[in-house]
Structure 1
Amino acid sequence: MTKLFAITRMDVSPIAADWPKELRQSVRFQWFKSAEEAAPHLAEMEVLLTSGNVRTEWLAEAARLKWVHCLSAGVDRLPLDYLKQRGILLTNSSGVHSVQMSEYAMSMMLQWVRRSRVFMEMQQARQWRGAPTTDELYEKTIGILGTGQIAQAVAPKARAFGMRTIGYNRSGATTEGFDQIYSGENGLIQLLKESDFVISILPGTKQTRHLIDLPKLKLMKPTAFLINMGRGYVIKEDDLIHALQAGIIAGAGLDVFEQEPLREDSPLWELDNVYLTPHISGNSPKYIERAAVIFNENLKRYVNGDTLRNKVELDSGY
């Protein structure tokens, strides 16, 4: 019998709620809220379900471990080198964020062009005065860094508002829903120059760390708005702060940061041209429901000896 352990504070009890008979008979599922709670049982674990924060020292106790599934799409908090050394398979929940994060991106852009902060301040001050100048998404260009499933959900929504959609990926492969795909250093430069809105959905890897720094920010339009909902360290934060303070770019919507929680003395808290949220763009009341569909399909494949989906390449980190 396959011994599946979930080690996460997230309520994963719905994962097994609708298992068919064959899974119930072939998989023993146990949920632990911490590694400390799971410690006496680690030697038995064959499959690990985690929200992504795993330490090498207690994985070493799991001698029978063959497969780790991450409930998130990002796996940069996992010990990838150790998993590779052990020959442990890693899969993720790519696709679980598509709906909510694409809606988040649209909401950030709409708040910016429609000046929602100004009107909220007017409401709170009980002021009825001349309306500030607003803008439109119509005929603007949105450039998306990363063209995976989240980006593929953003693109048609942006097109519905009459936006031109361009994307950046490693391979340059065409992607449905985009008017243009760029790749390579020259492609990144071109996207930054053309875009009215730049959205980063890039994973956190050695290659993407500080991909967007001050020289890259200076390529953007002074009217451009930058949204980061991928990983905080893709953008060099001190350079971004300077760009926002100096008017190199017009504004930013940030859900992720180099250090989380965002430190209390960060200038980002006080900038009028910044919208901040505490890493919640992927939150949804349907999160576990969607994650369960992805994981349970792979669990059936694992039990049957079939190839798993959403396999993470441990060298690249995605």
Structure 2
Amino acid sequence: MNIVAITGMDLTSMQEQMPKDLQERCEFHWFKSSSEAGEQIVNADVIISAGRINPDILNQAPKLKWMQTLSAGVDKLPLQEFAERNILLTNARGVHTIQMSEFTLSLMLQWIRNANLLHELQQNKVWDSQIKVGELYGKTLGIIGAGAIGEAVARKAKAFDMTVIGYNRSGTPQPAFDSTVSGEEGLPYLLSQSDFIVLLLPSTAKTRGFLTKEHLSLMKPSAFLINLARGDVIDEEALVHALQEGKLAGAALDVFEQEPLPSTSPLWSLKNVIITPHIAGASAHYTERVSSIFYHNLRAFLDGSEMINVVNLTEGY
């Protein structure tokens, strides 16, 4: 079994710590770029990617049977070609659960405790004991995308005595949520009731532009929106206007329609916006966690047993 990893991510530990039984059955080659991989691509049975791959590489890999992506999102991959060639695709779903749920809570606390202003006052050596801060206690959190990450966020939010509403396609109740809604009636309810709203949807044909200008108008003027999904799941222009006009109290944005966020974007200068550079899923333990998924799938692939995180190429997740 010839495995070719093409990614700038450091896979030294994945390579060195591969279980002995898998080492004996595979050849593992790691390259930081496709140009470095060269002719190895021709012999690849398996390709590991960070979530993007040039379609030309697939044409150079006639033996390719399976691709493991190190990301959860697969929206940057040529899914139609995978389907046409019957190439199996698995992702890293579940690898972001801990760090992204912690990041979500940190953003809510940063906003409610006025941390940005406190830091600004410190930088200016200003002592202001009258600064107003709030509490998460008793607030309602709406989570759009009630999957593994959403459930981890919900569990942590319950520790702060928050009420949690989840939104998913089926409306199937989830253990960590006080209520779970779905459909055209459920979404407006969640938006109108929530003090904090977190977007955790995958980017697919069905979710692009999911949150519209009309949806934003349903939110409380005091609400705070957090987008850790993809930039294209929300109407960014409408969001900017809502923030500028005070129709929405604030937002924390880790993802954008265009990345890096252009210096001309009005989001940079809005005091009610927290901007982070698509790092919600970053963790010192990332490679360790994604390796365990890959080892499981490699063993299953070799033995003909059940693999995890198999992507539905039609649905896009």
Into which bin does the TM-score normalised by the smaller protein fall?
A: over 0.9
Provide the rounded CA distance (Å) in 2 between the counterparts of 1:129 and 1:19: 55
Single out whichever of 254-263 and 186-195 deviates more from structure 2: 186-195
Q: In the alignment, is the contact (CA less than 8 A) between 1:39 and 1:58 conserved in 2?
A: no
SS of the residue corresponding to residue 26 of structure 1 reads coil
Structure 2 spans left out of the alignment, 5+ residues: none
RMSD: 0.9
1:22-51 deviations in Å (ceiling 9; x for gaps): 211111100011111113221100011110
Alignment of 1:235-246 (within 5 A): 235-246=234-245
Single out whichever of 16-25 and 55-64 deviates more from structure 2: 16-25
Cross-structure match for 2:270: 271
Q: What letter is aligned with 1:147?
A: A
SS of the residue corresponding to residue 137 of structure 2 reads coil
Q: In the alignment, is the contact (CA less than 8 A) between 2:88 and 2:310 conserved in 1?
A: yes
Cross-structure match for 2:145: 146
Q: CA deviation at 1:115?
A: 0.3
Find out whether 1:101 has 2:100 as its counterpart: yes
1:56-96 deviations in Å (ceiling 9; x for gaps): 11211100000011101111111011101111000011111
Single out whichever of 103-112 and 19-28 deviates more from structure 2: 19-28
Q: In the alignment, is the contact (CA less than 8 A) between 2:4 and 2:40 conserved in 1?
A: no
Cross-structure match for 1:136: 135
Alignment of 1:1-318 (within 5 A): 2-318=1-317
Q: In the alignment, is the contact (CA less than 8 A) between 1:53 and 1:77 conserved in 2?
A: yes
Q: Sequence identity, in percent?
A: 49
Q: In the alignment, is the contact (CA less than 8 A) between 1:47 and 1:67 conserved in 2?
A: yes
Provide the rounded CA distance (Å) in 1 between the counterparts of 2:139 and 2:23: 52
Q: CA deviation at 1:186?
A: 1.3
1:143-181 deviations in Å (ceiling 9; x for gaps): 011111111111110000000011111111111201111
Provide the rounded CA distance (Å) in 1 between the counterparts of 2:128 and 2:55: 59
Q: What letter is aligned with 1:140?
A: K
Single out whichever of 269-278 and 300-309 deviates more from structure 2: 300-309
Q: What letter is aligned with 2:2?
A: K
Q: What letter is aligned with 1:4?
A: I
Structure 1 spans left out of the alignment, 5+ residues: none
Q: What letter is aligned with 2:131?
A: P
| TM-score, L = length of structure 2 | 0.98
Provide the rounded CA distance (Å) in 2 between the counterparts of 1:200 and 1:148: 11
| TM-score, L = length of structure 1 | 0.98
Q: What letter is aligned with 2:36?
A: E
Provide the rounded CA distance (Å) in 2 between the counterparts of 1:176 and 1:198: 19
The alignment of Structure 1 onto Structure 2 pairs a total of residues equal to 317
Q: CA deviation at 1:19?
A: 2.6
Q: CA deviation at 1:129?
A: 2.2
Structure 1 stretches of 4+ moved >2 Å: 16-21
Provide the rounded CA distance (Å) in 2 between the counterparts of 1:78 and 1:280: 20
Q: CA deviation at 1:20?
A: 2.7
1:257-277 deviations in Å (ceiling 9; x for gaps): 000000101000000100000
Provide the rounded CA distance (Å) in 2 between the counterparts of 1:78 and 1:146: 21
Q: What letter is aligned with 2:138?
A: E
Provide the rounded CA distance (Å) in 2 between the counterparts of 1:242 and 1:75: 30
